[in-house]
Amino acid sequence: MTNNHRDSIISSKRGARDAALALAPAYDALAHSSFTTATATEIVGRIGAGEWTAVQVLEAYIARAAHAQSTTNCLTEVLFEDARRQAAELDNEFAKTNKLRGVLHGVPMSFKDQFDIAGYDTTIGFTTWSDKPSTENATLVNQCYAAGAIIIAKTNVPQTMLAFECSNPLWGRTLNPWNGKYTCGGSSGGEAALLAMDGSALGVGSDIGGSLRIPAAYCGIYSFKPSADRVSSHGARGCRPGFEGFRPSYGPMARSVEDCDLLCRAIFGELDRSHRVVPVPYRPVELPQKLKFGYYSNDMLVRTSPANVRAIQETVDALKNAGHECVEFSTTLPSDAMEVFVGLVTSDGYKKMLSYLQGDPQEDSLFMTTLGAKLPDFVRNLMCWGIKTFYGDSIFPRFFNQARTKSVVEYCEIVNQRNKVADAWYKEVWGEHQFDGIIAPVQALPVIPHGACTYLSGLACATAVFNVIDSPVATIPVTRVDPSLDCLSADFKPGEGDVSALFEKYMYQNGESTAYKPQEMAGMPVGVQLVGKKWEDEKVLAMMRVVVEALGPRGFGPGSWDMRGKSVV
């Protein structure tokens, strides 16, 4: 593809998006905020009670989505006109029957731009995938339509969806709504930015290494990563077809715990044409009055920032005050899992994934991720030796050495190691301690500035462990960065202890390029992961409520973006 051809496609796609956005009314807080500050659960209730119509709700969210786009560049495909027709149909149906179509009746929804919606492109940021509209809906899309949802837009992703920033040559960069100097995360980054600004009532993303959880934490919303194959993957595109080292999960991104639960009730257990979905519908659970939580603050790759440690401690303190048991423990399994993750995901040297670029320039966020696989073995080995010798860092070389093309025999050995890590987790963590759930950092940093993923992609260690062992995981916003509480100690030195000196230098002491700057990050959200056992998805959803109730009001949820900078009562 020539540069001129690529530029022509980009101009055409962005122009079509802008034309569709022009059909949105201007956002009017007086007229629209009562709708956009309602949860999806509340919207269904109000429509069912005859207080609101689907058309009223939709127009408010269309206006707000356009506002979110102008602030963050979060949208790709815009479905406003189709959505208006659907809303009118729902209102006519309700007027005749006085019955809701389903549990999502009238809820304006958005989908990460990897899910097929008939009549619209699914590009995942590749220019050459433009102008090839899908002919049918993804199963998840059909499930939401059947439950009464109204899909208003698709949202931006990073190139290849293997980064926790959110930029690609086709659609550009998406900004964090709380501070445009920082990324919204990835790969479900556009979805998180849109929801944080109340531009959608409920969203759908995916997760193969943290792609639901990292952007949710960066943007201060909720997410839920189900066990793999609990939700249909049919019609969800990717750039690694046939890869089975670990399977992606698909789940809700929302502004409340109740809305995460609501979507799971609509999508759990329905078989699709792949016949891979576990045919188990949503199963309500009754929790014991007193739960036992384990928690840890460090993943053995780097030391977690003071802000993220504080989020863990505030969560633990709140749970203890609510009468639950919390036990701190340490484990090396996150770093063991990251070694497996890197070994598996680089098994073909990224040949298939990078083949889709076809003339698109590679984004900087993929630099460190793909570097090892591109190097000759002797160069990679020399780099590992140099980092270990001159930085005293034995952690980074351990991962970097796995970033290479594998033989079939090597691949099978790493799959076997994956299974051993999962077995060890169940034995050492669940078996020995008998935890109901685990509280863990989403990442070592609250958020990263644009471009930091270039060198800090290894921070996905904190989330990737739960893809390797396939646990259901919720993300819960807890607090915000406070420079008066979250600065490093004066005697902090990168690499002290059994951690990666190289990563910690980029994180904490790299001059103007230092990633962790509490003064500049002031007010940015900080979240935690809530982890459960495989297949105990409903239990994790129920424990989300327990954690949120224990924490109490803290300035997150619908309407929180408009309240930024104001005191929270």
| Segments making up each domain of the chain, as ranges | 14-266, 292-551
- CATH class held by domain 14-266: alpha beta
Q: State how far the Cα of 33 lies from the Cα of 20, in Å rounded to an integer.
A: 22
Same fold, 14-266 and 292-551: yes
What are phi and psi for residue 110, nearest 5 degrees? -135, 155
Q: State how far the Cα of 16 lies from the Cα of 172, in Å rounded to an integer.
A: 15
Query: What Cα–Cα distance (Å) separates residue 395 from each residue in 54, 418, 441, 506?
Result: 54, 18, 19, 15
| Binding site feature residues | 161, 187, 208-211
Catalytic residue among 188, 211, 223, 232: 211
Alpha helices in 346-402 (DSSP H): 351-355, 367-374, 377-390, 395-400
Q: State how far the Cα of 429 lies from the Cα of 431, in Å rounded to an integer.
A: 6
User: What percent of the chain has pLDDT above 90?
Assistant: 96
Closest among 546, 513, 559 to 38, alpha carbons compared: 559
Sign of the torsion formed by the C-alpha atoms of 536, 541, 545 and 548: positive
Sheet holding 75-78, edge to edge: 75-78, 150-155, 108-112, 202-207, 249-254, 222-225, 473-480, 525-531, 437-441, 292-295, 325-328
Catalytic residue among 110, 154, 167, 187: 187
Q: State how far the Cα of 288 lies from the Cα of 457, in Å rounded to an integer.
A: 39
pLDDT of residue 271: 80
CB-based contact 480:567 (threshold 8 Å): no
Residue 528 DSSP SS3: strand
Enter the CATH code of domain 292-551.
3.90.1300.10
Catalytic residue among 13, 110, 112, 200: 112
Query: What Cα–Cα distance (Å) separates residue 497 from each residue in 117, 456, 500?
Result: 50, 19, 9
Element (H, E) at 252: strand 249-254
pLDDT of residue 100: 99
Element (H, E) at 217: helix 213-219
pLDDT of residue 566: 57
Residues 6+ apart with CB under 8 A from 535: 227, 230, 278, 472
What's the count of helices (H) and strands (E) in the chain, helices before strands?
Answer: 22, 13
112 given a catalytic annotation = yes
Residue 439 DSSP SS3: strand
Q: What is the CA radius of gyration of the chain?
A: 22
Question: In the numeric block, which tokens belong to residue 245?
Answer: 């080292």
| Binding site feature residues for substrate | 161, 187, 208-211
CB-based contact 223:475 (threshold 8 Å): yes
pLDDT of residue 565: 63
CB-based contact 222:216 (threshold 8 Å): yes
Sign of the torsion formed by the C-alpha atoms of 174, 179, 183 and 187: negative
Alpha helices in 49-188 (DSSP H): 54-72, 80-97, 139-146
489 given a catalytic annotation = no
Residues of the chain whose pLDDT is less than 70? 565-569
Residue 541 CA, chain-centre distance (Å), reads: 16
Query: What Cα–Cα distance (Å) separates residue 477 from each residue in 255, 264, 394, 500?
Result: 10, 19, 33, 27
Question: In the numeric block, which tokens belong to residue 12?
Answer: 């055409």
CB-based contact 155:74 (threshold 8 Å): yes
Nearest-5° angle of CA 99, CA 105, CA 107? 155
200 given a catalytic annotation = no
Q: State how far the Cα of 453 lies from the Cα of 166, in Å rounded to an integer.
A: 10
Residue 236 DSSP SS3: strand
3-state helix, strand, coil in the chain (%, to 5): 45, 10, 45
Question: In the numeric block, which tokens belong to residue 452?
Answer: 């930091």
Q: State how far the Cα of 370 lies from the Cα of 71, in Å rounded to an integer.
A: 31
